[in-house]
Amino acid sequence: MTTQPHTARLIDGKQSAQRLLAEVAQQVQACRAEGVTPALAVVLVGDDPASQVYVRNKLRAAEQVGILSHEYRFPATLSEQQLLATIDNLNRDAAVNGILVQLPLPAHIDEGRVVRAISPLKDVDGFHPENAGGLVQGQRVLTPCTPLGCMRLLAEYGGDLAGKHAVVVGRSNIVGKPMAALLLQAHCSVTTLHSRSQDAARLARQADILIAAVGRPGMIDASWIKPGAVVIDVGINRITQGEGRSRLVGDVDIASVSAVAAALTPVPGGVGPMTIACLMQNTVTATQLQQQAAALQCAG
Ligand code: GUN
């Protein structure tokens, strides 16, 4: 008798994102029925090619679900003061529900200052310290889109998360830290690994759920994976292949890991589409939070 080699189930992020976008489109219709059309302002400074693609995809998704979008494009020479003035105007504009400043920003602009300038109730990226702190304390706040998208994929493909051991590789403010907070909230035992971790692969092999968010192509191979683990690959790395050709790969070495894991997200087509769908969800959530805040103000 011959045995088939094991191959992990591929998690279809495109399909899950379309399901989420359909739900968001219904929520947008409900807002419209109450006389409010959710609106997202997207700010892009400079001409980073990857950022241009991301922004285009975000605007396209907004259109798909019926969210109004306003695009603000500035040259890389824009001063920090000018950017802060733009954000101030958007904060005050009641017709704008979400503000997204695409990162990275040119080196002469302080990203932290820009993130802190965005009203927490319009911070659809969930990067403002007030939202980051609220997330850790389990409050209903705007939450970073990529970790939110990973949680949705885990809800669909990961089974019951309570009591599982989740390992997050990477500790960025955008992915690693909020991811760990969300997994903890879902009752996982959580380990965060990073570039200074000793024996990282051995610790990762204890994971029922492994989130790879390091930004190093193919770094996570089968030696990091417990048989049967669910693996979510957040990495989006462009690698050149000679003759001017390039392609996108994740942080996970798919060929080796798919022989060990139970399920795995591809790159592209895994977490990426979920991030954009969650941005749309966050724009609706921001609209709802603003309406609640306004109602409380009237009542008070
Ligand atoms: N650049 C890379 N990822 C992101 C993101 O999630 N939000 C913003 N604003 N910029 C990014």
Give the pLDDT of residue 179: 98
Task: State the Cα–Cα distance between residues 252 and 255, nearest whole angstrom.
Answer: 9
With CA atoms as reference, report the closest residue to 97 among 65, 137, 70, 131.
70
Domain covering 36-120 assigned CATH 1.10.287.40 in the classification: no
What fold, for 144-271?
Rossmann fold (3.40.50)
User: From the CB of 212, is ligand 1 less than 6 Å away?
Assistant: no
Give the pLDDT of residue 299: 82
Name the closest-CA residue to atom 8, ligand 1: 102
Dist. CA 48 → ligand 1 center (Å): 12
Tens digit of each residue's pLDDT, the chain (300 residues): 677 788 999 999 999 999 999 999 999 999 999 999 999 999 999 999 999 999 999 999 999 999 999 999 999 999 999 999 999 999 999 999 999 999 999 999 999 999 999 999 999 999 999 999 999 999 999 999 999 999 999 999 989 999 999 999 999 999 999 999 999 999 999 999 999 999 999 999 999 999 999 999 999 999 999 999 999 999 999 999 888 899 999 999 999 999 999 999 999 999 999 999 999 999 999 999 999 999 888 887
Residues involved in catalysis: 58, 102, 125
What are the boundaries of each domain within the chain?
36-120, 144-271
**Ligand 1: which atom is nearest the Cα of residue 103?**
10
Give the pLDDT of residue 1: 64
Name the closest-CA residue to atom 9, ligand 1: 102
User: From the CB of 10, is ligand 1 less than 6 Å away?
Assistant: no
Q: CA torsion 176→177→182→188, rounded to 10°?
A: 80
pTM assigned to the model: 0.96
* Domain 36-120 and domain 144-271 have a common topology: yes
Give the pLDDT of residue 297: 85
